[in-house]
Amino acid sequence: MKAPGFRSNSPTALLAAAALLYIPLTLAAQNRIPWNDDEKPIVQDLRGLRGLSDSERPGATQRLALEIRRLPAAAHKTLLADQLANLVTEGDPGRDTLQEVALTLAQALRERPPATEGGQPHNAFVTLAQLARYEHVQVSCDDPQFTAAMAKLEGDDQARQGADFTLTDLSGKSWTLRDLRGKVVLVNFWATWCPPCRKEMPDLEALGQRFAAQGLVILAISDEDAAKVKPFIAEHQISYPVLLDPGRKVNDRFRVEGIPKSFVYNREGKLAAQAIDMRTRAQFLAMLAEAGLE
């Protein structure tokens, strides 16, 4: 999205700084925002959301959605709702939680619609569109920016359907997506600094081992330097191929504006399923089933 996820339009260093805060705002930017007394506890709770257990997090997220919804119409309300929407798609919070967050963001956008950004729909409208298109929540929004955001996502999906790449992994082996026809391929965009990316890696490793004999190939793509990626992969004992994307050419080809993101291609090379953020093992299994792998 995040989309959902950490957006990666800015350089990696800035993204890493944002990741340390657990929401995609730099500390300096947060310190410059004049949060009022009602907003300050919400900001603190957003920062601590990832520290909660998987069982605690959905309830806390729903509570935050309601607290943000009760705030008066203001620019900060949209900002807070957008931040929460970017966090809710990490893992499987449940349909009710996703719907509450979508309702909160839609309300904030109706109350005080932000201006377009360089002629493109504001990022908050893109976030809402991602919830509607990829998480299948009910969204009521007649703003032209929402319509434009939905059209943008459709165009992104069309680009991903026909995307191909050739990249080299950490051992020097070259991989071409198109050459893997006949296999089920899961392409995962990630980075060492990204907490949601790190959280889903053990599940990807387990799935890679489980389905290897059935033709599953996992290709993890990072735009970081090999000197940073190699020791991380060795430490975490990841066996699936990790490919390097210097210059982010493949990231751009797949319209990746936030990580983690995963795309599953079936044996005919068609895009069968995708995730805009971190997935649980059960969610990955559902994606693989869409590609005929069960």
What pLDDT is recorded for position 97?
98
Give this prediction's pTM.
0.87
Average pLDDT over residues 59-83: 96
Q: What is the pLDDT of residue 30?
A: 61
Q: Which helix (H) or strand (E) holds 166?
A: strand 166-169
Q: What does the pLDDT read at residue 25?
A: 55
Strands 6-7 and 166-169: what pairing? Answer: unpaired
Please give the average per-residue pLDDT across 123-129, as a whole number.
Answer: 97
Does the pLDDT at position 23 exceed 70? no
Rounded distance, CA 87 to CA 42, Å? 13
Phi and psi, residue 221, nearest 5°: -120, 125
**Bridge partners for 273 per DSSP:** 264
pLDDT range class, residue 31, cuts 50, 70, 90: low
Helix (H), strand (E), coil (C) string for 37-48: CCCHHHHHHHHC
CB 230 within 8 A of CB 238: no
Query: Shortest CA distance to 241 belongs to which of 182, 179, 167, 293?
Result: 167
pLDDT of residue 5 exceeding 60, the answer is: no
pLDDT tens, 96-113? Answer: 999 999 999 999 999 999
Spatial separation of the C-alpha atoms in residues 214 and 271, rounded to whole Å: 18
Average pLDDT of the chain is 91
pLDDT confidence bin for 26, thresholds 50/70/90 = low
Distance CA 271, CA 215 (A): 16
Contact between 49 and 57 (Cβ < 8 Å): yes
Checking 248-255 for CB contacts under 8 A at 24+ apart, the result is: 248/8, 248/223, 249/165, 250/163, 250/165, 250/167, 250/221, 251/8, 251/189, 251/221, 251/223, 253/159, 253/163, 253/165, 254/159, 254/160, 254/163, 254/187, 254/189, 255/156, 255/159, 255/160
Which is it for the CA torsion 98, 102, 103, 104, positive or negative?
A: positive
Other Cβ atoms within 10 Å of 292 Cβ, number: 13
Q: pLDDT for 197-245, tens place per residue?
A: 999 999 999 999 999 999 999 999 999 999 999 999 999 999 999 999 9
Is pLDDT at 144 greater than 80 in this prediction? Answer: yes
pLDDT reading at 57 higher than 90 = yes
What confidence tens digit (pLDDT) does each residue in 255-284 have?
A: 998 999 999 999 999 999 999 999 999 999
Q: Compute the Cα dihedral for 242, 248, 252, 255 and give only its sign.
A: positive
Distance CA 162, CA 174 (A): 20
Cβ–Cβ under 8 Å, residues 161 and 191: no
Return the pLDDT at 32: 80
Between CA 92 and CA 274 the distance in angstroms is 14
Q: At what angle do helices 123-134 and 95-111 cross, to 10 degrees?
A: 150
Single-letter amino acid code for the residue at 250 = V
